[in-house]
């Protein structure tokens, strides 16, 4: 057997094992939603039931925690994405001696444990009269999530042809017009991806949020508290709904992307003719 064949089958086997390891916990979690047991498990199987969806619908505290997480994630999205874009634009154009130091400074929140970020944010802002809550949670999460946005936008900027900006400026466009009509459309894929990452990073954050949430409990903190007091498969029901929603959104996005790619290919083919 040729080495190329062995390598190809080895890669296929690795991918299969990887996705099996990745998705089996999700399958088990989804199956536990339909088990007539008060514990979130599939063993022992006590019969098929839909009562945990009803229990989820009646769990007002969980829905309130979910809504709080969505509000916080939306706030982080609004704040972190512009900050990350500005930092990336600054680093891509600045050529001074302190560029390495500034890059390290902007990256430092990613290397700081979330517990430290949460405690330091709470101490600093509480001294300025800002108590824990949604606003402080957004501030705390933005300190490190903005760095993710900066990295993704900066990676995109490294492949940008700066002569396009110079050409636009030489033709009479101002800086804002150049940014809006040339640079921003080029950065659009990276900005969308960074926004998605920022939203998900905020939604699942626990370590930082625990110290700055105040009386506004997010979903991750609520689930962690339920683990101590007694977790029911209603949480599995919510997880299953979120997984199915994510799959539907991903499929719709992929279909839209393929449709736009087909239109672009058709337009290019018509121009060549």
Q: How many domains does the chain have?
A: 1
Residue 78 lies in a domain: yes
- Domain, as residue range, for 77: 60-233
Q: Report the alpha-carbon distance of residue 81 to residue 141 in Å, rounded.
A: 12
For residue 207, which of 159, 140, 273, 150 has the smallest C-alpha distance?
A: 140
Tell me the two tokens of residue 204: 């699942």
For residues 159 and 83, which has the higher predicted lDDT (pLDDT)? 83
State the chain's maximal CA–CA distance in angstroms.
74
pLDDT at 1: 57
Per DSSP, the three-state class of 220 is: helix
pLDDT tens per residue, range 144-170: 999 999 999 999 988 888 888 888 888
For the cut 70, the answer to whether the pLDDT of residue 198 exceeds it is yes
Residue 118 lies in a domain: yes
Mean pLDDT within 24-36:
87
For the cut 80, the answer to whether the pLDDT of residue 273 exceeds it is no
pLDDT at 23: 87
Q: Report the alpha-carbon distance of residue 163 to residue 186 in Å, rounded.
A: 14
Helix axis angle, 99-111 to 60-93, nearest 10°: 170
For the cut 80, the answer to whether the pLDDT of residue 179 exceeds it is yes
Whether a cis peptide bond, with omega within 30° of 0, leads into 44 is yes
Residue 269 lies in a domain: no
Residue 197 lies in a domain: yes
Residue 262 lies in a domain: no
pLDDT at 73: 94
Q: Report the alpha-carbon distance of residue 86 to residue 150 in Å, rounded.
A: 8
DSSP 98: T
CATH assignment of the domain containing 83: 1.10.3720.10
Residue 48 lies in a domain: no
- Percent of the chain at pLDDT above 90? 27
């Amino acid at each position: 057997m040729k080495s190329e064949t062995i390598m190809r089958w080895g890669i296929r086997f690795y991918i299969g094992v990887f996705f099996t390891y990745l998705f089996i916990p999700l399958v088990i979690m989804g199956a536990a939603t339909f088990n007539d047991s008060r514990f979130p498990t599939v063993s022992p199987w006590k019969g098929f039931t839909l009562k945990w969806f009803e229990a989820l619908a009646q769990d007002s505290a969980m829905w309130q925690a979910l809504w709080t997480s969505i509000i916080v994630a939306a706030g982080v999205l609004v704040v972190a994405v512009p900050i990350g874009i500005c930092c990336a634009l600054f680093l891509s154009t600045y050529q001074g001696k302190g560029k390495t130091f500034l890059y390290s400074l902007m990256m430092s929140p990613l290397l700081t444990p979330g517990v430290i970020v949460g405690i330091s944010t709470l101490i600093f802002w509480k001294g300025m009269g800002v108590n824990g809550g949604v606003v402080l949670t957004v501030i705390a999460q933005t300190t490190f999530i903005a760095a993710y946005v900066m990295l993704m936008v900066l990676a995109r900027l490294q492949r940008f042809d700066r002569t396009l900006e110079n050409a636009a400026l030489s033709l009479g466009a101002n800086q804002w017009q150049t940014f809006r009509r040339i640079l921003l459309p080029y950065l659009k894929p990276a900005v969308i991806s960074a926004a998605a990452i920022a939203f998900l990073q905020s939604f699942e954050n626990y370590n930082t949020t625990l110290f700055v949430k105040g009386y506004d409990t997010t979903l991750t903190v609520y689930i962690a508290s339920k683990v101590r007091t007694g977790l029911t498969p209603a949480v599995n029901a919510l997880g299953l709904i979120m997984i199915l929603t994510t799959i539907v959104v991903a499929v719709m996005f992929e279909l839209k992307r393929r449709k736009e790619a087909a239109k672009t290919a058709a337009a290019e083919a018509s121009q060549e003719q």
